[in-house]
Amino acid sequence: MSTTLSITRSGRRRNIGELAIRAVLIACSFAAVLTTVGIVFSLMFEAVRFFEQVAITEFMFGLEWSPQTAIRSDQVGASGAFGAIPLITGTLLISAIAMFVAAPLGLMSAIYLAEYSSSRMRNVVKPLLEMLAGIPTVVYGFFAALVIAPFIRDAGTGAGFEVASESALAAGLAMGIMIVPLVSSLSDDVISAVPQSLRDASYGLGATQAETIRKVVLPAAIPGIAGSILLATSRAIGETMIVVMAAGLAAKLTLNPLDAVTTITVQIVTLLTGDQEFDSAKTLAAFALGLLLFVATLILNIIALKIVELFREQYD
Amino acid sequence: MTDLITKSDGRLKGRHAGERRFKAYGMIAILISLGFLALMVSTILYQGFPAFKRNLVGLDINFDAVVIDPDGNRESSALRSANYTKLARASLRGLFPDVKKRRDKRKLNNILSSEVGYELRAMVLADHSLIGSTKRVWLSASGETELYFKGYISADLPEDQRRLDNDQIGWLDTLAHDGRIQTRFNTPFLTSGDSREPELAGILGALLGSFLTLLVCFALSFPIGTLAAIYLEEYAPKSRLNRLIEVNINNLAAVPSIVFGLLGLAILLNTFGLPRSTPLVGGMVLALMTLPTIIIASRASLRAVPPSIREAAMGIGASKTQTTFHHVAPLAMPGMLTGAIIGMAQALGETAPLLMIGMVAFIVDLPTGITDAATALPVQIFLWADSPERGFVEKTSAAIVVLLVFLIIMNLAAIVLRRKLEIRW
Would you state the pLDDT for residue B390? 77
Contact B291 A31 (CB under 8 A): yes
Contact between B356 and B258 (Cβ < 8 Å): yes
- Are residues A129 and B44, on separate chains, in Cβ contact within 8 Å? no
Whether residues A137 and B351 touch (CB distance < 8 A) is answered with yes
Which residue out of B36, B241, B244, B390 would a mutagenesis test of the A interface target, given it has the greatest number of A Cβ atoms within 10 Å? B36
- Are residues B259 and A290, on separate chains, in Cβ contact within 8 Å? yes
Alpha helices (H) along B70-201: 76-81, 84-95, 102-109, 116-126, 143-149, 166-177, 187-191
pLDDT over threshold 60, residue B321: yes
- Chain B positions touching A132 (Cβ under 8 A) are 33, 36-37
In this prediction, residue B142 carries a pLDDT of 86
Rounded to a whole number of angstroms, the distance from the CA of B96 to the nearest CA of chain A is 39
- Percentage of chain A exceeding pLDDT 90: 53
- Res B60: pLDDT: 86
Cα separation of B262 and A176, whole Å?
25
A270–chain B nearest CA distance, Å: 10
**Residue A72 distance to chain B (closest CA, Å):** 26
- Closest partner CB to A294 (pick from B27, B236, B259): B259
| Cα of A301 to nearest chain B Cα, Å | 7
Q: Are B26 and A111 within 8 A, CB to CB?
A: yes
CB contact under 8 A, B259 and A143: no
Dihedral sign for Cα atoms in the order B52, B55, B61, B66:
negative
Q: B263 vs chain A: nearest CA distance in angstroms? A: 5
For B112, list phi and psi in degrees, rounded to 5: -90, 155
Q: A208 and B16 in contact by Cβ < 8 A?
A: yes
Please say if the pLDDT value at position A316 is more than 70: no
Residue B62's pLDDT is: 84
Residue B43's pLDDT band (cuts 50, 70, 90): very high
Q: How many CA atoms lie within 13 A of B260 on its CB side?
A: 28
pLDDT of residue B392: 87
Residue of B33, B203, B341, B408 to mutate when probing chain A, most A C-beta within 10 A: B33
Residue A251, pLDDT > 50, answer: yes
Residues of B in contact with A7 (CB under 8 A): none
Q: What is the mean pLDDT of residues A172-200?
A: 92
Q: Measure Cα distances from A294 to A46, A86, B281, B350 in Å.
A: 14, 18, 21, 18
Q: What is the pLDDT of residues A98-144, one digit of tens each?
A: 999 999 999 999 999 999 999 999 989 998 998 898 999 999 999 99
**What pLDDT was estimated at residue A313?**
59
Measured in angstroms, the CA of B65 and the nearest CA of chain A are apart by 47
Cβ neighbours of B320 in A, within 8 Å? 18
What was the pLDDT predicted at A58? 87
| B103 burial level (CB within 10 Å; 0-12, 13-18, 19+) | exposed
Predicted confidence band of residue B71 (pLDDT cuts 50, 70, 90): confident
Contact (Cβ atoms closer than 8 angstroms) between residue A184 and residue A113: yes
Mean pLDDT of chain B: 88
Smallest CA–CA distance from B380 into chain A, residue: A138
Q: How many CB atoms lie within 10 A of CB B24?
A: 13
Cβ contact, residue pair B403, A278, below 8 Å:
no
Q: Is the separation of the CB atoms in B84 and B123 below 8 Å?
A: no
Contact yes or no for A28 and B228 at CB 8 A: yes
Of B220 and B75, the one with more pLDDT: B220
Lowest mean pLDDT among A54-58, A151-155, A174-178: A54-58
Alpha-carbon distance A74 to nearest alpha carbon in chain B (angstroms): 30
What type of residue is A274?
A: G
Reported residue count of chain B is 425
Residues in chain A within 8 Å Cβ distance of B27: 112
Q: Minimal Cα distance from A12: which residue of B? A: B319
Question: What pairs with residue B184 in β-bridges?
Answer: B54
Please tell me the predicted confidence (pLDDT) of residue B173.
Answer: 87
Q: What's the mean pLDDT in B312-329? A: 92
- pLDDT-based confidence at A74, cuts 50/70/90? low
Closest residue to B258, CB basis, from A25, A45, A265: A265
The fraction of chain B above a pLDDT of 90, given in percent, is 40
Question: Closest chain A residue to B13 measured between Cα atoms?
Answer: A208
Q: How many contacts (CB atoms, under 8 Å) link A and B? A: 243
Higher pLDDT among residues B289 and A1, named by residue: B289
Q: How far apart are CA B190 and CA B22, in angstroms?
A: 49
Residues in chain A closer than 8 A to B291 (CB atoms): 31-32, 35
- Identity of the highest mean pLDDT range in A96-110, B238-252, B410-424: A96-110
Cα dist from B41 to A33, A36, B34, whole Å? 39, 36, 10
Answer yes or no: are the C-beta atoms of B410 and B348 closer than 8 Å: yes
Q: Is residue B86 helix, strand or coil?
A: helix
Cα–Cα distance for residue pair B158/A181, rounded to 1 Å: 47
> Cβ contacts (< 8 Å) between B349 and chain A: which residues?
134-138
State pLDDT tens for residues B169-227: 888 888 888 888 888 888 888 888 888 888 788 899 999 999 999 999 999 999 999 99
Residue B3 confidence class, pLDDT cut points 50, 70, 90: low
User: What is the pLDDT, as a whole number, of residue B292?
Assistant: 93
> What's the rounded Cα separation, in Å, for the pair B23 and B17?
10
- Is the pLDDT at B73 greater than 60, yes or no? yes
**What is the arithmetic mean of pLDDT over B7-28?**
88
Query: At how many degrees (to 10) do helices A218-238 and A168-193 cross?
Result: 140
Residue B308: C-alpha distances to residues A19, B304, B313 (Å): 24, 11, 9
The better pLDDT of the pair B63, B4 is held by B63
CB–CB contact B266 A210 (8 Å): no
Do B259 and A132 count as a contact with CB atoms less than 8 A apart? no
Residues above pLDDT 70, as percent of chain B: 97
How far is the alpha carbon of B404 from chain A, nearest alpha carbon, in Å? 7
d(CA B86, CA B99): 16
What's the Cα-to-Cα distance from A237 to each of A90, A94, A259, rounded to whole Å?
10, 8, 18
pLDDT at A1: 44
Contact A138 B385 (CB under 8 A): yes
Angle at A42 between CA A288 and CA A304, to 5 degrees: 70
Sign of the alpha-carbon torsion through B317, B323, B325, B331? positive
Strands, E assignment, A7-118: 65-66, 81-82
Name the pLDDT band for B82 (thresholds 50, 70, 90).
Answer: confident
- Cβ pair B385:A142 closer than 8 A: yes
- On the question of pLDDT at B423 being above 80, the answer is no
Sort out which chain B residues have CB atoms less than 8 A from A113's CB and list them: 26, 30
| Confidence (pTM) | 0.88
If you average pLDDT over residues A141-148, what whole number do you get? Answer: 93
Length reported for chain A = 316
Predicted local distance difference test score (pLDDT) of residue B143: 82
B385 neighbourhood in chain A, CB within 8 Å? 138, 141-142, 145-146, 245
Residue pLDDT, tens place only, B322-351? 999 999 999 999 889 999 999 999 999 999
CA–CA separation, B172 and A113 (whole Å): 56
pLDDT, tens digit, 9 for 90 and up, residues A201-230: 999 999 999 999 999 999 988 888 999 999
Mean pLDDT of B100-127: 85
Confidence category of residue A279, pLDDT binned at 50, 70, 90? low
Q: Which of A30, A46, A245 sits opposite B382 (nearest CB)?
A: A245
Distance between CA atoms of B323 and B315, rounded to whole angstroms? 10
pLDDT (mean) for B105-133: 84
pLDDT at position B105 is 84
Q: Are A89 and A261 in contact (CB under 8 A)?
A: yes
**Under a CB-based contact definition with an 8 Å cutoff, are residues B312 and B408 in contact?**
no
Q: Tell me the HSE value of B346 on the side-chain side, using a 13 A CA sphere.
A: 24
- Report the C-alpha gap between A294 and A234 in whole angstroms: 10
